[in-house]
Amino acid sequence: MYELFFKKMAEKITLTSAQQDIIKQYLIPKKIRKNQYLLQEGDVAKHAAFVEKGALRAYSVDDRGTEHIIQFAFEGWTISDLYSFLTGEAATYNVDALEDSELVLISKAAQDEILKQIPEYEVYTRLQITGAYLAMQKRLTSILSLSLEERYINLTKLYPNLIQRVPQRMIASYMGLTPETLSRVRRKIKDK
């Protein structure tokens, strides 16, 4: 249990097995079925979720009922409404499972406790959020400066997983497009 979780950590910091045992005390394993909610808008995000297996998405719903996908999370990724998780305020978006998934939950209290006891973990969280920041900046700059075709091609290269495991209409939502437009973009690329 927690193999991938510690494997990911080992890529950035070194922990003794005693330290790992301390951390394990605070982790909560959880299985979640496809289409099941992990978090709903209005709830308070009590946990961050590390994905051991499966796939999740975070999304909001606007006035017109349109879904906007904020983030996907596959194996090795962490997902939560970070703002709600940190502040304890109501979540601004929903998180649900795209496939049957296995998660590792970390509560805010657990995270704080681990941060206190294990200085290395502070480094890990800093590096992790830095990576997430850079990835999101890349996503944002690609929206601002690339054509739809370029954006889609980049996405397929960056996350081959995404294309195979996620329905097109969700990819469209992630890109800020209608499914029809994405379908036409794909056609254009194919025709070349």
Partner DNA sequence: TCATTGCGTTGACGCTTATCAATGCGCTTT
Partner DNA sequence: AAAGCGCATTGATAAGCGTCAACGCAATGA
**Hey, which residues between 133 and 172 contact its own copies (CB under 8 A)?**
133-134, 136-137, 139-141, 143-145
Q: 22: which 2 tokens?
A: 């301390």
Q: What are phi and psi of 75, to 5 degrees?
A: -50, 130
Tell me which stretch binds DNA (CB under 7 A): 50-58, 96-104, 135-143, 161-169. 161-169
Q: What are phi and psi of 43, to 5 degrees?
A: -65, 170
Helices 148-158/119-145 angle, 10° precision: 150
> Is 148:177 a contact under the CB 8 Å cutoff?
yes
Residue 137 binding DNA, by CB under 7 A? no
Residue 66 binding its own copies, by CB under 8 A? yes
Q: How far is the CB of 134 from its own copies (least distance, A)?
A: 6
The single residue among 32, 56, 104, 177 that binds DNA, judged by CB under 7 A, is 177
The single residue among 131, 178, 189, 192 that binds DNA, judged by CB under 7 A, is 178
The single residue among 16, 36, 141, 168 that binds DNA, judged by CB under 7 A, is 168
The single residue among 21, 89, 112, 122 that binds its own copies, judged by CB under 8 A, is 122
Instruction: Select 36 or 66, whichever has its Cβ closest to its own copies.
Output: 66
Instruction: Select 40 or 130, whichever has its Cβ closest to its own copies.
Output: 130
What b/e sequence results for 36-58 when a residue is b if at least 16 CB atoms lie within 10 Å of its CB, and e otherwise?
eebbebeeebbbbbbbbebbbbb
Residue 165 binding DNA, by CB under 7 A? no
Residue 98 binding DNA, by CB under 7 A? no
> Is 94:39 a contact under the CB 8 Å cutoff?
yes
CA distances for 115 relative to 13, 19, 138, 179, angstroms: 14, 12, 29, 43
Q: How far is the CB of 107 from its own copies (least distance, A)?
A: 17
Which residue in this structure is represented by tokens 């409404």?
81
Q: Is 190 exposed, middle or buried (0-12, 13-18, 19+ CB in 10 A)?
A: exposed
Binding at 139: pick from DNA, its own copies, none (beta carbon under 5-8 Å per type) = its own copies
Residues that bind DNA (CB under 7 A): 147-148, 167-169, 176-187
